[in-house]
Amino acid sequence: MLPLWAGAIPAGVAYGVAARAVGIGALDAQFMSLTVFAAAGQITAVSLIGSDSALVATFITVMAVNAQIPLLGIAAVRQLHPTRFQKLQLSLLLTDGAFGIAAAREPLRHYVLVGAGLSMYLGWNLGTALGLTAGGAAGNPATSGLDFVVPLSFLAVLVPLIRDRSAVAAVLVASLTAITVLQIAPVGVAVLAAGVIGSATGVAVSRRSERSAA
Amino acid sequence: MTHPLVVVALALGTLGLRVSGLMLGDVRIPAAWERAWRYVPLALLSALIVISLTGRETSEVTIRAIALVVAAIITYKARRLWLCIAAGMIVYYLLRSAT
């Protein structure tokens, strides 16, 4: 189980450092890792709380960033046909990282998935504690530049998702939309607008390239 | 300042997402929806990265943008989360100390 720990700890450290960099209390940040347990979503929350976004916009954006979680659940149920008790375990521990590792070895097994999830949970929380300690010791984040961990964490999640032209189009259009909308609206609105328009662009481009390939 | 209530709301919301997928497991979702869903995190993360650059001095934006591009290339080749963050921070601090 050591490799799984190794994967979750750096992500947890980045989150912990990022949380301290935007001034979130250590207890709040650790509490979030213990209860939310979703890397990209939590770093998004940290970023938006740091930019003083409206709470509703923060909530909606974090849920949208976590949008792949239901898809993982659907995939897990189709392959595993879990009992109700097994579903309960997965409802606490299912993450994309754990699913990716467990699904790498066919066929997918429930105990492997739960084991991977549990291992990730421990690594994520340990990493958070380490990051909070390190981030707290580093002094003023605005001058130390430690807040740069936030966009780098997003980038680390984003890059592996870019697999084709439609994804590149979605990234470009979302970025442009965000910058444009930000001129007239708060951060939360700009992010959500970029989410809607960027995803629509991704779908449109993937349909077009499918049609031209057919 | 964080409200503990925000954390509770995020925890319940995320739990809701996990449970909904597990409950929906046997239901067929239209392929078009599933496809659109895949682009949502992609678009949101791009927006968050770009927005993180705004409201800073031009020299700082330039340094950060260069560091992001280098980190993106390294991540694309190596696919390691920690490497992306480490490489980005190193490039960032090198450029900062050089200017």
Strands (E), B1-99: none
Of A33-42, B24-33, B78-87, minimum mean pLDDT range: B24-33
Residue B4: partners with Cβ closer than 8 Å, 6 or more residues away: A28, A31
Query: What SS3 state is found at A3?
Result: helix
Q: What angle do CA A110, A116, A120 make, to 5 degrees?
A: 145
- Where b means 16+ CB within 10 Å and e means fewer, B66-77 reads ebbebbbebbee
Q: How many structural domains is chain B composed of?
A: 1
Are B18 and A92 within 8 A, CB to CB? yes
- Decide if B64 is inside a domain: yes
Least CB–CB distance from B48: residue in A47, A59, A72: A47
Query: Considering only CB atoms, which chain B residues are within 8 Å of A55?
Result: 3, 6
- Decide if B12 is inside a domain: no
pLDDT > 90 in chain A, percent: 52
CB A74 within 8 A of CB B34: no
Spatial CA neighbour of A117 closest among A162, A82, A163: A82
Q: Which residue of B has its CA nearest to A83?
A: B22
CA distance B7 to chain A (A): 6
Q: What is the ipTM of this complex?
A: 0.89
- Decide if B67 is inside a domain: yes
- Checking if the pLDDT of A187 tops 80, the result is yes
Task: Express each pLDDT in B30-72 by its tens digit.
Answer: 887 878 888 998 999 999 999 999 888 899 999 999 999 999 9
Domain of residue B67, residue span? 55-99
Spatial CA neighbour of A178 closest among B9, B42, B44, B33: B44
pTM of the model: 0.85
Interface-testing mutation among B14, B46, B68, B73, with chain A (most A C-beta atoms within 10 A)? B46
Spatial CA neighbour of A126 closest among A1, A15, A41, A23: A15
Task: Express each pLDDT in A72-104 by its tens digit.
Answer: 898 899 888 999 999 999 999 998 888 888 888
Chain B contact for A155 (CB, 8 A cutoff): yes
Interface-testing mutation among A47, A85, A158, A163, with chain B (most B C-beta atoms within 10 A)? A158
- Checking if the pLDDT of A2 tops 60, the result is no
Q: Which residue of A has its CA nearest to B28?
A: A74
Phi, psi angles (nearest 5°) of residue A99: -65, -40
Task: Express each pLDDT in A59-70 by its tens digit.
Answer: 999 998 898 888
- Checking if the pLDDT of A7 tops 90, the result is no
